[in-house]
Amino acid sequence: DLQSFPKTGGTAMKYLAPQVFLDKYIIRNEFETFDDSDFEDNHFRVASIRSPCDYYRSLWTFGSEGHGAFKGHLRKSGYDLNEYYGQTPPFDGPEDLAKFDKWLRLANGTYTHRVRQSIKVNRREEIGDVQDHVHCWIRTESYYPDMQKCLHKFEKMGGKVDWVKFRKAVGETFNESAHDKCGAYFNEERSELVSCMDPEIFKWFNFDVSSCCAGASTQKAMRSQIEANELDLKQTCA
Q: Answer with the residue of higher pLDDT: 176 or 67.
A: 67
Q: Answer with the residue of higher pLDDT: 37 or 63.
A: 63
Instruction: Check pLDDT > 90 for residue 13.
Output: no
Contact call for residues 48 and 138 (beta carbons, < 8 A): yes
Contact call for residues 161 and 22 (beta carbons, < 8 A): yes
| DSSP conformation class of 175 | S
Instruction: Check pLDDT > 70 for residue 216.
Output: no
Average pLDDT, stretch 99-108? Answer: 96
pLDDT tens per residue across span 111-120: 988 888 777 7
Identify the band that residue 217 occupies on the pLDDT scale cut at 50, 70 and 90.
very low
Instruction: Check pLDDT > 50 for residue 218.
Output: no
Confidence (pLDDT) at 33: 77
Helix, strand, coil percentages for the chain (3-state, nearest 5): 55, 5, 40
Identify the band that residue 42 occupies on the pLDDT scale cut at 50, 70 and 90.
confident
Confidence (pLDDT) at 66: 93
* Portion of the chain with pLDDT greater than 70, in percent: 77
Q: Where are the beta strands (DSSP E) in the chain?
A: 2-3, 27-28, 46-49, 136-139
Task: Determine the Cα–Cα distance for residues 155 and 177; give it in Å rounded to an integer.
Answer: 34
User: How confident is the prediction for the chain on average, in pLDDT?
Assistant: 82
> Among 132, 148, 111, 106, which residue's Cα sits nearest to residue 5?
111
In this prediction the pTM is 0.80
> Among 78, 68, 79, 73, which residue's Cα sits nearest to residue 102?
79
SS3 of 21, please? strand
Contact call for residues 20 and 166 (beta carbons, < 8 A): yes
Average pLDDT, stretch 65-69? Answer: 91
Q: Answer with the residue of higher pLDDT: 104 or 122.
A: 104
Q: Answer with the residue of higher pLDDT: 3 or 40.
A: 40
pLDDT tens per residue across span 22-41: 888 887 776 677 878 887 88
pLDDT tens per residue across span 112-141: 888 887 777 665 555 555 666 788 888 888
Instruction: Check pLDDT > 70 for residue 235.
Output: no
Q: Answer with the residue of higher pLDDT: 227 or 188.
A: 188
Average pLDDT, stretch 79-106? Answer: 97
> Among 31, 198, 204, 44, which residue's Cα sits nearest to residue 131?
204
SS3 of 29, please? coil
